[in-house]
Amino acid sequence: MTPGISHMDGEAGSSPPAVPLPDLVRVLQQLFLSRALTRAVPEHGLRAWPVPRSSAVPLAEGILDAAAVCAATMMRAPSREHGGGSSEFLATSPHLPGGALARGVTAQRWLAGAVGPPVPGSDPAPPWGPIPSLGLPGPFPFPGIAVQVLAGMTLPQQDPDGSPGTLHWPAVGVVVAHRSALTSGAVHEGFNLAAVRRSALVLVLGSTEDGPPGEGSPPRPELDDVAEAYGVRAVRASALDIPILLGELGRGLASVRRGEGPLLMEVDARPGEDGIRDPLTVLRDRVIRAREADAATVAELEEDARLELDEAIRRISNPTSGYIGGTGPASPPPEGASP
């Protein structure tokens, strides 16, 4: 069994089918930018959505971002604009930078959405505007509705070339949410229906706290229980090993496309030997070690992300951009503070 992956219904000792992996450098690029965005809002004092930089669970954004970026990477044609006719749908919270980037949202646009609506009467020229849930009829601030709606979007349909009763799965969907989504009855209703109707849906749940130690551990018992209750498969992939995560997502997407029913996927970080628990750092080291890019190129990618972010911040700071707040303190300075 591939290290870091456990298949609930897999055969012991068997290797999962190979999935062609995409360009890891491109994934790294996306992760650099999503990390920069995650940090930008609190660091620049933007009035924004509550991006939980100082969460008690430090891997929160890193894991969910990695899951979203990897899911979009492994989809056949992740949508770049709504209405583009894609039949592959990715749902994440609009607040998740990695999810937005994965759906094709630019850094500037994400920040514009984070900062708020334009001042009335100003000229909100593109690319400013609300964050679209690209490829999706979103946004999906609530995972329950995302699961329900995507379960409906990925229903099997009569194969137009087949005999009556021959089904095919013209659309697939991935919902990326925090594992706490399982506390929502709406998520269960949607996932149960997906299971009953055999929708082509992958529900990726990021666990942001440490899991039980040891690579290759199965999904947490509570996720296994949920999967068993709905008669679906559950797999677990480490967020710390991006190639493995990509491979598991690729296999999951292939299985739901074949009509094998929805898949529950846990993505988390578990204590490893090197003690590094950040998907981005692990991937950066790996890319360099494997000579997929040299250290200078990787540093350049990171710098590019920073420059793109700086440009986005600069445009938001420009009063003519018409956005309320711009940069500055999120709340008025205390009385008596020097200007």
Q: Which of 98, 113, 190, 326 binds other proteins (CB under 8 A)?
A: 190
Nearest-approach distance from CB 253 to other proteins, in angstroms: 17
Q: Which of 138, 206, 279, 322 binds other proteins (CB under 8 A)?
A: 138
80 backbone dihedrals φ, ψ, rounded to 5°: -100, -30
Beta bridge partners of 263: 202, 233
Q: Pick the closer one to other proteins by CB: 133 or 255.
A: 133
Q: Which of 193, 242, 246, 264 binds other proteins (CB under 8 A)?
A: 193
d(CA 180, CA 329): 31
* Span between the terminal Cα atoms of the chain, in Å: 62
Q: Count of alpha carbons within 13 Å of 179, Cβ hemisphere only?
A: 22
Q: Pick the closer one to other proteins by CB: 243 or 262.
A: 262
The footprint of other proteins on residues 75-114 (CB under 8 A) is 82-83, 87
Q: Count of alpha carbons within 13 Å of 54, Cβ hemisphere only?
A: 2
DSSP 162-181: SPTT-EE---EEEEEEEGGG
Q: Which of 54, 34, 152, 51 is nearest to 99 (CA)?
A: 34
From residue 27 to residue 66, the character string flagging contacts with other proteins as x (rule: CB under 8 A) and all else as - is: ----------------------------------------
Task: Report how many residues bind other proteins under the rule CB under 8 A.
Answer: 37
Sheet of 88-91, strand order: 5-7, 233-238, 263-268, 201-206, 172-178, 88-91
Nearest-approach distance from CB 91 to other proteins, in angstroms: 10
Q: Does 157 bind other proteins (CB under 8 A)?
A: yes
Stretch in the footprint of other proteins (CB under 8 A) among 112-120, 167-175, 216-224, 239-247: 167-175
Q: Which of 39, 168, 197, 286 binds other proteins (CB under 8 A)?
A: 197
Distances (CA, A) of 186 to 144, 148, 190: 4, 8, 6
Q: Which of 58, 118, 156, 325 binds other proteins (CB under 8 A)?
A: 156
Number of H helices, E strands in the chain: 10, 8
Name the residues that contact other proteins, by CB under 8 A: 82-83, 87, 132-133, 136-139, 142, 144-145, 147-158, 164-165, 167, 170-171, 185-186, 189-190, 192-193, 196-197
